Structure 1
Amino acid sequence: MVELYVVRHGETSTNKELRINGSITDQPLNENGIAQAENLKNIINISKFDAIYSSPLRRALKTAEILNQGFHNINKDSRLVETNYGSWDGIKLEPAKKKHPDAIDEHNLVTDKYVNYAENGETYEHVYLRISEFMSDMTNLGDKKVLVVCHGFVQRAFFKVVTNIPDIVNVLQPDNLGVSKYITDELGNYNLVYYSRINNID
């Protein structure tokens, strides 16, 4: 059985400015994002984890480095990068929502319709595929406790892959440094324990 703890990175300037924060927008953590990661570092006990995986993007990798405290080698995995929003990467949400209301929902989250307007945007189905592949690899680790640092939509994609929820619009954005816990077994079964907690991480 693998216990998988999936963490969203700390805050960036583009998060604060309500911009679309994809894989092209490789922003560092801001001061608040660093403080968020430091706070979670004091809540979790990294010495009880067997491995840590991270998206190679700066905001995720810095979050992972703070949480890791030099304890493990950080496994950088490109399957964990945020969605590539193409020409929409880095743009402000509000103007995009006014121009293309079907592409931004009432929670200010980008819907799968955005690919109708953004050049070279990655489909959500492709994100689900790479997260499914990552989860499949996790089932082969044996009895391990694993920390995964990734991104907002990617964490929502984990939820969709595990629960098979029909529409990701029903999965809200996790908080920065929100932790979701999943349990996998060698048969490839996944179970959600909790989603986007910032306290009571067990």
Structure 2
Amino acid sequence: MARIFIIRHGKTKWNIEGRLQGAENDSPLLENNVKDCKELAEYLSKYDFAKIYSSPLKRAVDTAEMVVSHFEESKKVEINEAFREVGFGKWEGMTKSELKSRDGDLFKRFAARKYGAEFEELGMEDFTIAGKRFADGIKKCFEELGEDENALIFSHGAIIHLGIKTLTGNMNMTGVDNLSSTIIKPTADGRYLIESYNQTAYIKDRTGFTQSVSM
């Protein structure tokens, strides 16, 4: 059975600072990602991947290249726009504490992914459209895989959360940790199931991990 492994990028400076890091901004990966990516690679090396994709954003590409560099066999990382992070418009770069104090009610709706006209005015990407973009990318990836082939995707917290909800219809998921692994598989009747979600057991020291439905 084909499977897709979805990885959230490594920790960045903005993750630690609690800043919204969307489709228009990047901050550098932290140095401790070197060790963590190697441990993730050791876990992933148990599987063979026919395709490896990354969001075009630098934090995802850098994570992908760092992980893939530890594979015994050289693998090409393909850029795929479907897995780009959600655009957060004028809120990008702001901290959660700033937004809570300034726009408390609106931030609650944002955290609950309740998109409205106010968010459009801020220049944010529509959450429904973003989730469909990611879900369609996953579906297309499955169409290109053989029956027992695997694919590996490096993406971002908010779009993984929204996209998997859209793909599976499961509305009760938490956010995902940096460098976490989520596995999706198709069913014979055309549905998509979560085989595992937000797994990080392969990381020996999880100090400073950031779980979020954004960034």
Structure 1-normalised TM-score?
Answer: 0.86
CA distance in 2, matches of 1:115, 1:93: 20
Kindly report the root-mean-square deviation, in angstroms, between the aligned alpha carbons of the 2 structures.
2.5
Structure 1 runs of 4+ with >4 Å offset: none
Provide the rounded CA distance (Å) in 2 between the counterparts of 1:199 and 1:87.
36
Give the % identical residues. Answer: 25
Q: Is 1:173 aligned to residue 175 of structure 2?
A: yes
Determine the structure 1 residue equivalent to 2:34. 34
CA contact (8 A) 1:128 1:161 kept: yes
Whether 1:190 aligns to 2:195 is no
Q: Which amino acid aligns with 1:142?
A: G
Aligned residue in 2 for 1:120: 123
Provide the C-alpha distance between the structure 2 equivalents of 1:109 and 1:29, rounded to a whole number of angstroms. Answer: 24
Aligned residues: 197
CA distance in 2 between partners of 1:14 and 1:110 (Å): 21
Supply the distance in 2 between the matched residues of 1:112 and 1:36 (Cα, whole angstroms).
33
Structure 1 CA distance for aligned equivalents of residues 106 and 94 of structure 2: 13
Gaps of 5+ in 2: 204-215
Residue of structure 2 equivalent to 1:99: 102
Are 2:3 and 1:6 equivalent residues in the alignment? no
Q: Which of 74, 77, 80 is the matching residue for 1:77? A: 80
Separation (CA, whole Å) in 2 of partners of 1:115 and 1:99? 18
Q: Is the 8 A contact 1:4 1:147 kept in 2?
A: yes
Q: 1:145 to 1:61 in 2, by over 3 A?
A: same
CA offsets, 1:114-172, max 9 Å, x none? Answer: 76156211010111120121122023122211111000011112320233135xxx432
Equivalent position SS for 2:166: helix
Aligned mates of 1:103, 1:38 — CA distance in 2: 39
- Residue 154 of structure 1 aligns with which residue? 159
- Mapped to 1, the partners of 2:33 and 2:48 lie a distance apart of 24
Distance 1:142 1:184 in 2: 12
Specify whether residues 188 and 67 from structure 1 end up closer, same or farther in structure 2 by C-alpha distance, changes over 3 A only.
farther
CA distance in 2, matches of 1:113, 1:18: 21
Kindly indicate whether the alpha-carbon contact (under 8 Å) linking 2:115 and 2:126 is maintained by their aligned counterparts in 1: no
| 2:166 aligned with 1:164 | no
Pairing partner for 2:150 from 140, 145, 154: 145
Name the counterpart of 1:56.
Answer: 56
Other structure's SS at 1:48 match: coil
Does the Cα contact within 8 Å between 2:39 and 2:202 map onto a contact in 1? Answer: no
Unaligned runs of 5+ in 1: none
2:138 matched to which residue of 1? 135
- Pairwise CA distance, 1:34: 3.4
- The whole-number CA distance in structure 2 between the counterparts of 1:7 and 1:55 is 11
Q: Quick one: distance in 2 between partners of 1:17 and 1:76?
A: 27
Matched residue, 2:212: none
User: Higher mean Cα deviation, 5-14 or 94-103?
Assistant: 94-103
